[in-house]
Amino acid sequence: MKMALVVAMVSDEKTNRIIEAAREGGATGDTIISSVRGEGLKPGKTFLGLDLAAKRDVVLFLVAEPRARDILERIAVAGDMDGESGAGIAFQITIEDAVGLSTQLPTLMEELEGAL
């Protein structure tokens, strides 16, 4: 089965919304890397050397490739990524192979068969 890695980088207050949106689209799990930093076009402001930027999370979803685009679009809407400056970014990467999915694979296969 072809898989995709959907990666979302969002402020930590949006993480739960992003996860809910992805699960509604068919994601069966997630991995969160919390408290990361990043900058866009304009660096964040500082006050006396302290970073005032919001905490960010990187949320990873390994999903069935046919569901990846829908999940990506749901994440974009849930995080208001196209409407709010600095709201975050999400993208997908094709995964050639993966192991360790034995508990999730039956659910993924069932969902994909139902969609076809």
pLDDT, residue 52, reads 56
Backbone angles phi, psi at 8, to 5 degrees: -125, 130
Q: What number is the average pLDDT over the span 72-97? A: 91
In this predicted structure, the answer to whether residue 18 has a pLDDT above a threshold of 80 is: yes
Rounded Cα–Cα distance for residues 27 and 12 (Å): 19
Residue ranges and CATH numbers for the domains of the chain are 3-40+49-115 (3.30.70.120)
pTM exceeds 0.75, yes or no = yes
3-state secondary structure of 38: coil
When comparing pLDDT for 47 and 84, which is higher?
Answer: 84
Percent of the chain with pLDDT over 90: 47
List the beta strands (DSSP E) in 1-116: 3-11, 31-36, 46-47, 50-51, 56-64, 88-95
